[in-house]
Every structure is written in structure tokens, then in C-alpha cells.
């Protein structure tokens, strides 16, 4: 079996199915649950996402992000995140919807609500609302303003598919939050290509 060809065909199919779902449904949590199911189906195909295709980062780098498929330059975008234990991503939003499906390993997602009114630039107060252990067989989805943090514990490298309403590289106004300082700032993002 040609895993590269299979991966490309299934990723393109995910984009097409998602466009159909979005064309016939309002963007809400119920619609994201339909997309989340499709992402889970793809992440269950673990043979497509291994080290032989997508190298793990060095222990110092902690994360490699690979662009898998994209609809146009900035449209629907599917990435594979490969992360080392010890990787932490502070609370952040996406400014577009997101669905994450676990291929291998556990990613701890902590969800938050912003409880201040946003009237003081650079200041923010968050309240933790849930913790989700994202592991093979399950997924998580978020609307544009939802806030979450990520942590990789244990000793194993993790591989998860991240699917967004538009490319990470095109997003503007994403915020990273510092819980201890009660602050927020615009978040930078980068990507490695296949």
C-alpha cells in the first residue's frame, strides 16, 4: 500500500466532506462535532502518521508541525503536530474553529473562559472550565474564541492531527494568555512543510 498516496487522498476527502458539512449547517458546536468525527476517522489510521514520514522534533525543539492538506492558500488546513514530552503551550485562542484528533499519545487540553471584559489592553483574566485528556479514539473541537492550553506529560512523543477553518499562518489577532501575570499578547506561529 502506498501510504503517501492514501494519506493525500484521505486528507483531500476530509477537506471536501468538511466543505459539504459547513455549506449545509450553521457553524456551531453540533456542526463541529460532525467535523470532529471525520478528523477522528483520519487520526485512527495510525499507519499514515509514523516517524518514517514525519520526524519527531529534537528534545530541545519539543514540536514539529507539518502541513498535510490545505484548501487554497489560506483555507481549511490540516496539520500534524509531533511533540516531545515536556512541551507546554500557554492558553491561547485560534480566531477560527479547530478540531484536534489524537493519532498517538496523550495531549492534556485545559479549557478556559475569559472572565474580564477585555477593556484593558494586554490584561486578561481566565477561569478554568475543563480538562480533556486527548488520546487515540477521541477528539476535541473549539469555536474561534474558545481558549485552551496544551501540555505533554510522560515519556512518549505524541502525534495529533489539528484541523482549522483557515491556515494558522493567515490568522491575525490570536492571543496567548499568561495565567500568573493576568496578561495577554498576540501569538506567533510557524509551520514545517512536508
pLDDT of residue 133: 95
- Domain membership of residue 193 (yes or no) is no
Q: In this structure, is the dihedral angle defined by the CA atoms of residues 142, 148, 153 and 159, taken in order, positive or negative?
A: positive
pLDDT of residue 173: 86
How many domains does one find in the chain? 1
Quote the distance between the C-alpha of residue 23 and its chain's center.
22
pLDDT of residue 193: 41
Whole-angstrom Cα distance, residue 59 to residue 109? 21
Element (H, E) at 128: strand 126-134
How do residues 29-53 score in pLDDT, each as one tens digit?
999 999 999 999 999 999 999 999 9
- Domain membership of residue 192 (yes or no) is no
pLDDT of residue 73: 87
- Domain membership of residue 168 (yes or no) is yes
- Domain membership of residue 66 (yes or no) is yes
pLDDT of residue 189: 64
- Domain membership of residue 63 (yes or no) is yes
Residue 178 belongs to domain spanning: 3-186
pLDDT in tens for each of the 194 residues of the chain? Answer: 689 999 999 999 999 999 999 999 999 999 999 999 999 999 999 999 999 999 999 989 999 999 999 999 889 999 999 999 999 999 999 999 999 999 999 999 999 999 999 899 999 999 999 999 999 998 999 999 999 999 999 999 999 999 999 999 898 889 999 999 999 999 876 544 44
Whole-angstrom Cα distance, residue 128 to residue 108? 13
Record the cell numbers describing residue 192, joined without a space.
514545517
- Domain membership of residue 194 (yes or no) is no
pLDDT of residue 167: 94
CATH number at residue 144: 2.60.120.10
Q: Which residues contact 123 (CB under 8 A, 6 or more apart)?
A: 116, 182, 183, 184
- Domain membership of residue 40 (yes or no) is yes
Amino acid at each position: 500500500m502506498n501510504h503517501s498516496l492514501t494519506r493525500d487522498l484521505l486528507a483531500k476527502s476530509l477537506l471536501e466532506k468538511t466543505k459539504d458539512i459547513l455549506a449545509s449547517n450553521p457553524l456551531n458546536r453540533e456542526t463541529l462535532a460532525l467535523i470532529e468525527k471525520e478528523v477522528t476517522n483520519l487520526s485512527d489510521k495510525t499507519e499514515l502518521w509514523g516517524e518514517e514520514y514525519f520526524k519527531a522534533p529534537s528534545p530541545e525543539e519539543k514540536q514539529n508541525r507539518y502541513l498535510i492538506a490545505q484548501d487554497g492558500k489560506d483555507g481549511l488546513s490540516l496539520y500534524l503536530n509531533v511533540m516531545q514530552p515536556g512541551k507546554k503551550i500557554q492558553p491561547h485562542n485560534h480566531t477560527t474553529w479547530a478540531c484536534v484528533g489524537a493519532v498517538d499519545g496523550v495531549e492534556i487540553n485545559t479549557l478556559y473562559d475569559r472572565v474580564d471584559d477585555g477593556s484593558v489592553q494586554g490584561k486578561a483574566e481566565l477561569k478554568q472550565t475543563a480538562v480533556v485528556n486527548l488520546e487515540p479514539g477521541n477528539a476535541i473541537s473549539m469555536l474561534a474564541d474558545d481558549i485552551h492550553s496544551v501540555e505533554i506529560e510522560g515519556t512518549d512523543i505524541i502525534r495529533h492531527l489539528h484541523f482549522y477553518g483557515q491556515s494558522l499562518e493567515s490568522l491575525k489577532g490570536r492571543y496567548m494568555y499568561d495565567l500568573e501575570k493576568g496578561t495577554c499578547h498576540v501569538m506567533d506561529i510557524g509551520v514545517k512543510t512536508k
